[in-house]
Amino acid sequence: MLLNFVAIALFAYLASCIVFNFILSLAGRVTRQRKTDYTDTKEFSRIAILVPAYKEDSIILSTARSYAAQTYPSTRYEVVVIADSLQPATIRQLIAAGTRVIEVAFEKSTKAKSLNAAFAQLEEDFDIALICDADNVLGPDFLLKVNAAYRNGEHAIQGRRVAKNMDSSFAVLDAVNEIIANHIYRKGANALGLSSSVIGSGMAFDFKLIKGILNEIQATGGFDKVLQLLLIEKGYSIYYLEDACIYDEKVDNPNTFENQRRRWVSSQFVYLATYWKKGWKQLWKGNFNYFNLAICQNILLPRMILLAAVTLSTVAAWFLQEWLWIPFAYWLLIWVLNILSLLLPLPAVFYTRYFFTAVAGLPRAVYIMVALVFKLKGANKTFIHTQHTKTEIDNPLLDAARK
């Protein structure tokens, strides 16, 4: 009897996670990519590109210089590097290259603190604030597309973050994870009339709006989760600008992967607890957008942990099917739906070029993710920095990703 009660509870939770992901994945698949038309642009918004850089001396000069490749009028945007613990020589080189530098120093550094310090010093003649990471490189027409969306009434915009590199099995897995997350929680969500989630970089906002919202945020990790909820609470929806690409360095080794995911998983569960009551209250008020971002997306198991959980449960159900009330076929069905939700977002070329590389690295990545569940204590209270080194874009999936 107890075995069946546990099995029913486990099945209900896993099935809910999987069906949620599958519906969004399917919605993203049947929805065509929206093309941003900027050919008749007559008004060019003033854009501040804000780049928090914590100990990123090896990459920040290359990143700052890359923004000169934008086809946007050079007089209508400015690159602002928020220098936290950069070397004096790096700062001098940035200034010599024409980059605006705002130096900051904190006892405990966070992205939110750096951004708030920058906003306190910036004049308010900007229309749009674009937030990027120190390793991010923009597609040449990124600002033109952001401007077109903003002029069309969108005040909170998430660009499409894609892999800068695919030079190891972990980088491939990280790139695949980005593709799937973009497809499900951004494209799929928008397709169903829901707000896209934000990623933490490649995000563009009305300048005064984001300046006011960031003033309310003091988070150490996962500040983007608080940011998106404050936007929804103030009546704004987040638009996924799918054809505006921003290139992001993917982790290429297990240790970096573990450190990064530890911070992400910890913030997910911390914010689930923090916004649990408010999320349900917002649902009763009819605000499903808030409920989706506060509860649904935080209560989901991370996809690799979900894959491990449903696979092990399905195998166990096969051995225990004589004693279980839930037929084995039902367990197998949710396992198949989970696999489909992960495969639907991937371009066809992935299967011919990277599929076996990803599969080979998957067991170790899954093991790391499952083990992280027991290492989350304190992760959300500590700034866990991911070091970046890649300066070139090397991603053969880019052309496929644009289709």
Strands 77-84 and 100-104, bridge-based pairing: parallel
Q: Are residues 132 and 17 in the same domain?
A: no
Rounded-to-integer distance, Cα 233 and Cα 228, Å: 9
Q: Are residues 86 and 17 in the same domain?
A: no
Rg (CA), the chain: 21
What is residue 380's predicted lDDT score, i.e. its pLDDT? 57
What is residue 401's predicted lDDT score, i.e. its pLDDT? 47
User: Which residue is it, tokens 């070397």?
Assistant: 87
* Number of domains observed in the structure of the chain: 2
- Whether the Cβ atoms of residue 344 and residue 350 lie closer than 8 Å to each other: no
3-class DSSP assignment, residue 169: helix
User: Which residue is it, tokens 């450190």?
Assistant: 259
Q: Are residues 127 and 229 in the same domain?
A: yes
Of 118, 108, 99, the closest CA to residue 52 belongs to 118
Q: Does 342 fall in a domain?
A: yes
Q: Are residues 230 and 366 in the same domain?
A: no
Q: Does 142 fall in a domain?
A: yes
Per residue in 139-193, pLDDT (tens digit) is: 999 999 999 999 999 999 999 999 888 877 888 888 899 999 999 999 999 999 9
Q: Does 199 fall in a domain?
A: yes
DSSP state of 43: -
- Domain boundary, last residue among 225, 251, 277: 251
What is residue 389's predicted lDDT score, i.e. its pLDDT? 58
Rounded-to-integer distance, Cα 161 and Cα 242, Å: 9
What is residue 174's predicted lDDT score, i.e. its pLDDT? 87
* The pair of three-digit structure tokens given for residue 175, joined into one six-digit string: 């790139």
Q: Are residues 213 and 295 in the same domain?
A: no
Q: For the stretch 16-40, what's the b/e string if a residue is b when 16 or more beta carbons lie within 10 angstroms of its beta carbon?
A: ebbebbbebbbbbbeeeeeebebee
Q: Does 39 fall in a domain?
A: no
Domain limits at 330?
A: 2-31+269-381
Q: Does 12 fall in a domain?
A: yes
Q: Does 257 fall in a domain?
A: no
Q: Are residues 312 and 234 in the same domain?
A: no
Q: Does 23 fall in a domain?
A: yes
- Whether the Cβ atoms of residue 38 and residue 148 lie closer than 8 Å to each other: yes
CATH number of the domain within which 119 lies: 3.90.550.10
Q: Give pLDDT tens digits along the chain (403 positions).
A: 788 999 999 999 999 999 999 999 999 999 988 889 888 888 999 999 999 999 999 999 999 999 999 999 999 999 999 999 999 999 999 999 999 999 998 888 888 899 999 999 998 889 999 999 999 999 999 999 999 999 999 999 999 999 888 877 888 888 899 999 999 999 999 999 999 999 989 999 999 999 999 988 876 667 889 999 999 999 999 999 999 999 998 877 777 777 777 777 888 888 999 999 999 999 999 999 999 999 999 999 999 999 999 999 999 999 999 999 999 999 999 999 999 999 999 988 888 788 888 888 888 888 888 887 776 665 555 555 566 655 566 666 655 444 4
- Domain boundary, last residue among 223, 251, 279: 251
Q: Are residues 231 and 301 in the same domain?
A: no
Cα distances (angstroms) measured from residue 306 to each of 301, 309, 312 = 5, 5, 10
Q: Are residues 7 and 114 in the same domain?
A: no
Of 189, 175, 242, the closest CA to residue 26 belongs to 189
- Domain boundary, last residue among 197, 217, 251: 251
What is residue 216's predicted lDDT score, i.e. its pLDDT? 87
Q: Are residues 211 and 349 in the same domain?
A: no
Q: What is the largest CA-CA distance in the chain?
A: 73
Q: Are residues 110 and 208 in the same domain?
A: yes
Q: Does 115 fall in a domain?
A: yes
pTM, whole model, 2 decimals? 0.91
What is residue 379's predicted lDDT score, i.e. its pLDDT? 54
Q: Are residues 111 and 21 in the same domain?
A: no
- Spell out the residues 6+ positions from residue 89 whose beta carbon is closer than 8 angstroms to its own: none
Q: Are residues 173 and 273 in the same domain?
A: no
Strands 47-54 and 77-84, bridge-based pairing: parallel
Per residue in 341-393, pLDDT (tens digit) is: 999 999 888 887 888 888 888 888 888 888 877 766 655 555 555 666 555 66
